[in-house]
Amino acid sequence: MHSMQKAVVNRNGLLFFCAVLHIFSYRFSENLYQYDMIVITGGAGFIGSAMLWMLNMLGRDDIIIVDTLGLAARGKWKNLSGLRFADFIPRDQFLPLLESKKISGITDLIHMGAISATTETDADLLIERNFAFSKRIATCCMQQNIRLIYASSAATYGNGASGYTDDEKTIDTLRPLNMYGYSKQLFDRWALRNGVLEKATGLKFFNVYGPNEYHKGDMSSVIFKAFRQITEKGCVNLFKSHRPDYRDGEQLRDFVHVRDCTAIIAWLIENPAATGLFNVGSGTARSFNDLVNAVFTALDKEPAITYIPMPEHLQGGYQYHTCADMAKLQQAGYRNAMTSLEAGVRDYVRNYLASPEPYYDLYRHTTNSGNS
């Protein structure tokens, strides 16, 4: 191997070793935590690690991360390497510790850990991870007086025939289009039936985009995929419409920057009276054409879009329109403005995707935490 190649391999190996060392630098012992702690399940994932960054920016690092990292080559561990936290507990070890009360001092549990792939076909696995696991988490939180904030999904709304209003009274009228959405709906209904939502908060995330999503593969945002396609071949592929009332590329989504999502969660931590189900979106429906054009603009390039047939296995469960009704959250007291699509895409592309180090990092992007 060439000497320079060896140096790169050694450097990457050292970086990974240091990251692993950082993650496991705190050994867990019984009743270790005796003060206010925050737990983030799925804390190495997209929204979870962005939430860790947000809390760090607010001066908090008394945080326990619960997750699995998978293969090192997938890069999920990189979401954590520039952030601060007190401990990392593997997912399978966490519930026994929580249920046996061997972790003390938890005030808030942000439950983002779940299977997030809308295309997952293993129904039993979705029930195990998204429903059964979440029930055990919620039960512990209720018994131990821990504030629970968990991830639901806009996928629970199905084709939108019953609207996109986050009123618990309409929950039984919703008909998700895929098993992922049903697994989230199932937990929402259980939480409502068992009084969990009187003390906890479920967040129906719409189409979230932003830094730290790079490990998600096919489930990453269209912005990330478009950026890669533009830089690799100069054009972007979008699905054709298979409905006569929508032109190609004019399918509508509510795209929301992950920074807006984490700002809402941070507000909820400070406002525990805000319980129940809440939508988390921008409150505006925009087309995929708008989205991709914003990426081209951020790169100072002329748009070049090719429309391709939608795979048959996606057509039956495809949402043509989503838009979050944000009135309930606003009525609860949340007043922050949501990031516009153009500003959010510009920030994401220029300050992160176009950077050699695109992750949320306390020691980089310190001047780029807003729009540019």
Q: What is the rounded distance in angstroms from the CA atom of residue 199 to the CA atom of residue 185?
A: 18
Q: Which two tokens stand for residue 12?
A: 């990457």
The DSSP annotation for 61-93 comes to --EEEEE----GGG-GGGGTTTS--SEEEEHHH
Q: What is the rounded distance in angstroms from the CA atom of residue 209 to the CA atom of residue 347?
A: 11
Nearest to 127 by CA among 188, 92, 179: 179
Q: What's the DSSP call for residue 3? A: H
Long-range contacts of residues 303-309, Cβ cutoff 8 Å, at least 24 apart = 304/234, 304/235, 304/236, 305/235, 305/236, 305/237, 305/238, 305/249, 306/235, 306/236, 306/237, 306/238, 307/237, 307/238, 307/239, 307/240, 307/248, 307/249, 308/237, 308/238, 308/239, 308/240, 309/239, 309/240
Catalytic residues: 180, 216
Residue given tokens 């190649």 in the structure block: 5
